[in-house]
Structure 1
Amino acid sequence: MTNTPTTFFGWIIFLIQQYHGYYLQGLLTTLETSLAGTICGCFLGFLVGIIQATDIRAQDNMIKKILLGIPWVIAKIYVTIFRGTPMIVQAMVIYYGSSTVFGIDLKPFNAAIFIILLNTGAYMSETVRGGINSIDVGQIEGAKALGMGYVPMMIYIILPQTFKIIAPQIGNTFVANIKDTSVLNVIAVTELFYITKVAAGTYFRMFEAYTITALIYLTLTLLFNGLLKLIEKYMAGKESYEVLNPAAAK
C-alpha cells in the first residue's frame, strides 16, 4: 500500500477524503430514521399515554370497564416489554421475527423506523401519562362543571398543557435516538456506525475511523441540544413583562 499516512491525524484526513461520501450517507440515514421514528413514536406515545391515564372507577358499569380496561392492559404490556428490553434485542426480534413468523419482508431502513417508533412510543407514553397527571385537578373539575365531555376536555385543555410540559423531553428523546440508531447496524441499516465499520475494516484503522464518528455524533448532539434550548426559551416566553397600562392593572 503506497502513499498511506503514518500519523494519527494523517489517517483522520485520509479516511475523510476516502469515505466522506459514505460518512455523509450514514449521517443522512441516521437523521432520517431518528427523526421519522421520533415523530411517529411521539404520536404513539401520546395515544398510549392517554390510554394509561384513563381513570377506570369502581362505580363504572361493566361494559365501560371492559372497553377501557382492554386497551389499558394492552398498553401496559407494550410499555413493559419495550421499556424492559434493549433496542438492539428488539431490532433482532422484530426484523428477523417479522420474516420468520409473519412472512413480512421488512427492508432495513423501514425496520429501523418501526423499531425506533415502538421504542420511543413506550418511553414517551410514560412521559405523557405523567404530564397529564400533573395538570391541576381543578381545571378538570371546572371543565366537567361546564358540561365539557372527556374528548373536548383532552383536546382543548389537557393535551395542550401536557405538550408544553413534555416538549423538552421530546427533544431529548430525539437526541437520544440519534445516538441509539447505532445499534441498528445489527440489521444492516446503513447508518453512521455501520458505515464506520466498513471504513475501519478496509484499512484496519479502528481508532481513527471511530474517532471521526464520535466527533460527528458529538457535533450533532451539541447542535440539537443548543437548538432545543432556544426552542425551550422561546416557549417559556419573556422573563419579564412590561405593563402597558399600569392603571388597568390595579
Structure 2
Amino acid sequence: MEAWWQGVQKGFYQTFILKDNYMYFVKGIRITLLVTVLALVLGLVLGVLVAVIRSAHDQQPENRRGILLRIFNGICKLYLTVVRGTPMMVQLLIMWFVIWPVLFPGATRATDGNLIRCAVLAFGVNSGAYVAEIVRSGIMSIDKGQMEAGRSLGLTYVSTMRHVIIPQAFKNVLPALGNELITLLKETSIVTVIGLKDLTKGAMIIQANTYQALVPFIAIAVMYLVMVLFLSWLLGKMERRLRKSDIR
C-alpha cells in the first residue's frame, strides 16, 4: 500500500509539477472549451435553420408546399440522415483530410488555428443535426393557434417564428439542448485524432513523456466531470428562472 501511495505521489509530481506539465492541462481546457462553445453556436444556428425549414414543410398542406420548400426539405433530410447515421470520429477525419484541403487549399498545414477551425466546423455540423431535431420537436409542440394568431396580427411567417414560436419552443427544449451541450463537450475529446492539443491530448503527451498513466488520465476525467457538473448546475438555474417567469 505504501509503495502504491509513493507511486501516486511520484505520478502527481511528474504529471503536474515536472517541467510545468500542468500547462498541458491549462491549454487543453482552453482549447476544449473554445471548440465546444464555437461548435455549439454554429450548431444552434444551423439546427434552428434546418428545424424551421422542416417544420414549415410539415405544417403546410401538401398542395401548398412550393418547389423550393420541397427541395430545401429534401436537402435537410439528407443532411440529417448522413450526419446522424455516421460516427463523429469518421466525420472529423473526413473534414480534416478530405473536405478541408478542398475548401482551404492554402490552410492544410496543421497549425493550432487551422485545427481548431476544422474541429469547430466538424462538430458544429454534427451538433446542428441533433439540435435541428430537438428544436423541431419544440416547434411542433406549440399549438397551431399560436402561428395563426401571429399571422392574423399581420406578422410574416418568419417574424411569427422569431417572436412567437421559437421563444416558446426554446423553453420546452432547454433540457434537451443542455444534454446536447454536455455531450458535445465530452465528444470534443476525439479531436486528438487530427492532432489538436486539447485536454485529452495533453494527458496523452504527459503519459508518453513520463510513462505515468494513472494520474494524467484520472486528472482529465475529474476535469471533465467538474465541467459537466458546472454546466448541469448552470442549466438547472436557467430552467428554474424560466419556470418562475412562466408562473408570473
TM-score by length of 2: 0.87
Query: Are the equivalent residues in 1 in contact too, given 2:24–2:202 (CA < 8 A)?
Result: yes
Q: 1:162 to 1:78 in 2, by over 3 A?
A: same
1:59 match: secondary structure: helix
Q: Hey, what does 2:111 align to over in structure 1?
A: none
Partner residue in 1 for 2:196:
189
Structure 1 position 147, deviation (Å): 4.4
Q: Which position in structure 1 is the counterpart of 2:34?
A: 32
1:159 Cα offset (Å): 1.0
Q: CA deviation at 1:184?
A: 1.0
Q: Deviations over 1:183-232 (max 9, x none)?
A: 11101111111111100111111222111111111111111111111111
Of 212, 215, 234, the match for 1:208: 215
* Preserved CA contact (<8 Å) 1:196 1:210: yes
Does residue 1:20 correspond to 2:25, yes or no? no
Q: CA deviation at 1:101?
A: 4.8
TM-score, structure 1 normalization: 0.86
Equivalent runs, 1:126-137 vs 2, <5 Å: 126-137=133-144
After superposition, give the CA deviation of every residue in 1:57-90 in whole Å (9 maximum; x if it has no partner). 3322xxx521101111111111111111111110
Aligned partner of 2:10: which letter? G
Q: Which residue of 2 aligns with 1:81?
A: 82
Return the offset for 1:16.
Answer: 1.4
Specify the structure having the higher radius of gyration (Cα).
1
- Partner Cα separation in structure 2 for residue 239 and residue 98 of structure 1: 45
Give 1:53's aligned residue. 55
Deviation at 1:173, TM superposition (A): 1.8
Is residue 42–residue 170 contact of structure 1 (8 Å, CA) maintained in 2? no
Deviations 1:170-191 (A, max 9, x none): 2222221111111111011111
CA deviation string 1:26-66 (max 9, x = no partner): 01000000011001211110001111111343322xxx521
After the TM superposition, which of the residue ranges 10-19 and 89-98 deviates more from structure 2? 10-19
Q: Percent identity?
A: 29
Match of 2:170 among 160, 163, 167: 163
Alignment partners' CA distance in 2, 1:9 and 1:191: 25
Counterpart amino acid of residue 96 in structure 1: F
Instruction: Tell me the distance in 2 between the aligned counterparts of 1:51 and 1:238.
Output: 29
Query: Which AA in structure 2 matches 1:85?
Result: T
Distance 1:230 1:146 in 2: 34
User: Match for 2:14: what amino acid?
Assistant: F
Amino acid at match of 1:33: V
CA-based RMSD: 2.0
Q: Deviations over 1:98-135 (max 9, x none)?
A: 25555633511110110111011010000011011000
Structure 1 segments of 4+ aligned residues over 4 angstroms from their partners? 99-103, 238-241
**What is the number of residues matched between the two proteins?**
234
Give the Cα–Cα distance (whole angstroms) in 1 for the partners of residues 174 and 168 of structure 2: 10
Aligned amino acid, residue 113 of structure 1: V
Cα separation, 1, equivalents of 2:246 and 2:7: 51
| Stretches of structure 1 lacking an aligned partner (at least 5 in a row) | 242-250
Residue identity in the other structure for 2:177: I
Q: Which residue is equivalent to 1:150?
A: 157
Distance 2:96 2:204 in 1: 21
SS of structure 1 residue aligned to 2:62 = coil
